[in-house]
Structure 1
Amino acid sequence: MAPIVVFITGANRGLGQGLVKGFIAKPDHIVIAAVRDPAHSTAQALAELPAGEGSRIIVVKYDASIEQSAFDAVKEASDQGIGHLDIVVANAGIAKLYPLVKDVKRADIIEHIDVNVLSAVSFYQATRDLLQKSTGKPIYAIMGSGAGGLARQPPVPNAAYGASKSIVNWYGVRINAEDEWLNAFVLDPGWVQTDMGNAAAQLWGGGGAGYL
């Protein structure tokens, strides 16, 4: 049986790392872990994760703030023998500050949109050809957040990160509408106990987010 090939960005910490652990533990999976610095200890540690029978991990360099980096990461994976993709998770993102709309700086909004939204668009463009070569029903999943919801506004300031996650919801729905062969959607993991989740929880007076 051909292995299931999974490509995950932001793979060395938080939700991305959790997804890598889950997929690599399954049999017959190839997990491509895209990280900003492959030499970092957290990236190096990915190679030591328990792997299912016939499964292996490939670590590639990827910077979500650079458009070309998405295409370079896919080429690096292709150069290592990857000829198709079954699942792509655009997980890389930032949440650097939590201002009110009256206080947020234009530059901070732009930075969060650049990394949280435009990187997901670029990564879709970069992986699309390999997703089309999947023999199953390929998946393109974007990591979203309840912070991006419109119907319910959480009582916390979030005018940069929240807005970016709202925009990414549109792209997830739109990609799915444009490509009938692709199952594209946005994930809402809830408030998870990661570095990012805990930082926000402590800022807003909580003890921490939920467990991953």
Structure 2
Amino acid sequence: MTSSTADIGASPLGTVLVTGASRGLGRALAEAYAAGGWRVIACVRQVPEGGLGSMLCEALDVADAASIEALGRRLEGEAIDIVINNAAIRGDVGGLSSLETNDFLEVMRINALAPLLVARALKPNLLAAQRRVLVSISSRAGSLAEGTLDDDDGDYAYRCSKAALNMATVKLAQDFRSDGIAVISLHPGWVRTDMGGAQAQLAVAESVAGLKALIDQTTMADTGSFRAYDGKTVSW
């Protein structure tokens, strides 16, 4: 059962919403904010029987526009200081020869379109809050300048989706500037999660610590920026 908003009292630090919070980087980000005293709304496709500790759980399937709209309706009137668009999938990695239309479109739907729909649905919640930060967990793999410098994985859909997400960040930053909402893209590094694999270079905890520090320090001066977990600017 989804917890009600009354189950978790307000935090003086504010409220953070994380999509894709059932496992991996999203789960770790949600837990890090909860441990730091923030009120956390963890969005997952299926709410676990016992919930997720002290966090409020909300059912959300980012592949379904109706599910995103329903989340916005359920959270109507809730002030949300930070929205973290984390939910993503990798898709096919076999290169051009194995590229398949439905797989490609599903990756684009989840990785690029869904964050835009979430931003639209939750903009009133951000406007009701003090911090007003919208975060997209992107990837250096989507950088036109840097994305293929040191790897040649055949993940066409994933790379194209993250490049599109980066453009979404730039557009949203432009559109939301007058509302005082800072919009940023962050590269978490090559992290040892189900998506990143066991050979990845970075522990989840290290990535999350860097990402959280950047998010917590974000102001309107940073809006429209693309940075890595270690603070370095990533070229578009």
TM over 0.5: yes
Q: CA deviation at 1:45?
A: 5.7
| The one of 155, 168, 177 aligned to 2:165 | 168
Question: For residue 147 of structure 1, what is the aligned residue in structure 2?
Answer: 141
Does residue 195 (structure 1) correspond to residue 194 (structure 2)? The answer is yes
Q: CA deviation at 1:209?
A: 4.4
Query: Partner amino acid for 2:40?
Result: V
| The one of 27, 32, 35 aligned to 2:41 | 32
Matches of 1:209 and 1:64, distance apart in 2: 28
Does residue 11 (structure 1) correspond to residue 21 (structure 2)? The answer is yes
Query: Partner amino acid for 1:46?
Result: L
Does residue 57 (structure 1) correspond to residue 55 (structure 2)? The answer is yes
Matches of 2:19 and 2:185, distance apart in 1: 14
Matches of 1:2 and 1:45, distance apart in 2: 23
Q: CA deviation at 1:67?
A: 0.5
Residue deviations 1:160-190 (CA, integer Å, cap 9, x gap): 1111111000001110111111100111001
Runs of at least 4 residues off by over 4 Å: none
Q: CA deviation at 1:96?
A: 2.7
For the structure 1 residues 184 and 110, does the alpha-carbon distance in structure 2 shift closer, same or farther, using more than 3 Å as the test? same
Q: How many residues align?
A: 189
Give SS of 2:39's match: strand
Matches of 1:188 and 1:7, distance apart in 2: 18
Query: Partner amino acid for 1:156?
Result: D
Give SS of 2:185's match: strand
TM-score (norm 2): 0.75
Residue deviations 1:123-177 (CA, integer Å, cap 9, x gap): 00110011011123x1000110111111131322111111111100000111011
CA RMSD of aligned residues (A): 1.8
Give SS of 2:195's match: helix
Matches of 2:130 and 2:153, distance apart in 1: 44
Question: For residue 185 of structure 1, what is the aligned residue in structure 2?
Answer: 184
Matches of 2:66 and 2:58, distance apart in 1: 14
**Runs of 5+ in structure 2 lacking a partner?**
1-10, 205-236
